[in-house]
């Protein structure tokens, strides 16, 4: 982390877990732990259905609510989709875009990720854009090329004010939900490379000011050593975010 230049963010991704009735007890437990001034920004990304309940529990608190996806379209005939303005009106401040599970199960490519990103930003959401290589790509030594390409396509055409509302999450696909966390060195190397690509695209000041998170089996037992690295500005946490106590332990690891 480098708190002088950028925000530290710990974001939970509930994926398709839990139910509306779980939101209040979870929220109250998290707020009791977090108090009024937690050590970093905290985001909880729930399924669409739970966003209004989460927004109510966290209203006026330091915890922000996020969604896990958004439509590229502003409105209209998109059966099953949810628009950025609907998310904002329901109380979401953040949205995850381009998660590897969206890419894998819903065929999302970098161009679509880029369009969703611009739509989300236009409606005032902050975006967490996910990038990351698959195991086979790393085995071939292609991980840096893959992530650079994902970033360049997704962020193409963004201006500096838009980049200010964009967070990058490096999530190697082989580390997600597997317990097989990237080593702090592997995670730091890629997060640093991401910052270099951002520098190339947007200049040094913008790159220095952009938060780059790590995600993939981050948990209380390994968070501190990942978050101690200078280019890792927080985490995107799946499994370990489902329990408020575990999630808050990761927030506390960001305190160092
Ligand atoms: P995990 O998921 O922490 O369960 O590995 C992270 C993510 O997919 O965002």
Q: Which of 9, 11, 12, 13 has the most ligand 1 atoms within 8 A of CB, as the residue to mutate?
A: 13
- Predicted confidence (pLDDT) per residue in 120-179, tens digit: 999 999 999 999 999 999 999 999 999 999 999 999 999 999 999 999 999 999 999 999
- Cβ pair 33, 248 in contact under 8 A: yes
Structure tokens at 136: 């086979």
| Cα–Cα distance list, 116 to 3, 48, 236 (Å) | 28, 16, 19
**Alpha carbon of 76 to ligand 1 centroid (Å):** 32
CA–CA separation, 169 vs 96, rounded Å? Answer: 9
Assess whether pLDDT exceeds 90 at residue 1: no
Tell me how far apart the alpha carbons of residues 87 and 127 are, in angstroms, rounded to a whole number.
Answer: 12
Q: Is 99 among the catalytic positions?
A: yes
User: pTM of the entire structure?
Assistant: 0.97
Residues with CB under 6 A from ligand 1: 13, 171, 176-177, 215-218, 236-240
Asked whether residue 106 carries a pLDDT value surpassing 90, the answer given is yes
Is residue 72 part of the annotated active site? The answer reads: no
Going by alpha carbons, the residue nearest to atom 3 of ligand 1 is: 238
Which amino acid residue places its CA nearest to atom 9 of ligand 1?
238
Indicate the CATH number of 3-255 among 3.30.70.1430, 3.40.630.10, 3.20.20.70, 3.40.50.1970.
Answer: 3.20.20.70
Pick the catalytic residue: 99, 101, 133, 188?
99
d(CA 50, CA 53): 5
Q: How far is CA 52 from CA 31, 86, 92, 121, 163, in A?
A: 17, 11, 8, 20, 27
């Amino acid at each position: 982390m480098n708190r002088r230049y950028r925000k530290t963010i710990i974001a939970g991704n509930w994926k398709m877990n839990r139910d509306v009735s779980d939101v209040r007890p979870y929220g109250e437990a998290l707020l009791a732990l977090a108090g009024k001034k937690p050590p970093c920004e905290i985001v909880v990304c729930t399924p669409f259905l739970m966003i209004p309940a989460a927004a109510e529990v966290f209203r006026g608190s330091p915890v922000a609510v996020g969604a896990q996806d958004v439509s590229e379209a502003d409105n209209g005939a998109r059966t099953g989709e949810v628009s950025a303005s609907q998310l904002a009106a329901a109380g979401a401040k953040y949205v995850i875009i381009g998660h590897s599970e969206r890419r894998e199960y819903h065929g999302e490519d970098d161009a679509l990720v880029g369009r969703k990103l611009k739509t989300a930003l236009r409606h005032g959401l902050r975006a967490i854009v996910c990038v990351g290589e698959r195991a086979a790509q790393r085995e071939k030594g292609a991980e840096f090329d893959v992530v650079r390409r994902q970033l360049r396509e997704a962020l193409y055409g963004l201006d500096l004010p838009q980049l200010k509302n964009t967070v990058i999450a490096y999530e190697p696909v082989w580390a997600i939900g597997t317990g097989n966390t990237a080593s702090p060195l592997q995670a730091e190397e890629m997060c640093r490379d991401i910052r270099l690509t951002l520098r190339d695209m947007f200049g040094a000041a913008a790159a220095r000011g952009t938060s780059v998170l790590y995600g993939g089996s981050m948990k209380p037992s390994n968070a501190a050593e990942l978050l101690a690295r200078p280019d890792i500005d927080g985490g995107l946490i799946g499994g370990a975010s489902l329990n408020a106590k575990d999630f808050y332990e990761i927030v506390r690891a960001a305190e160092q």
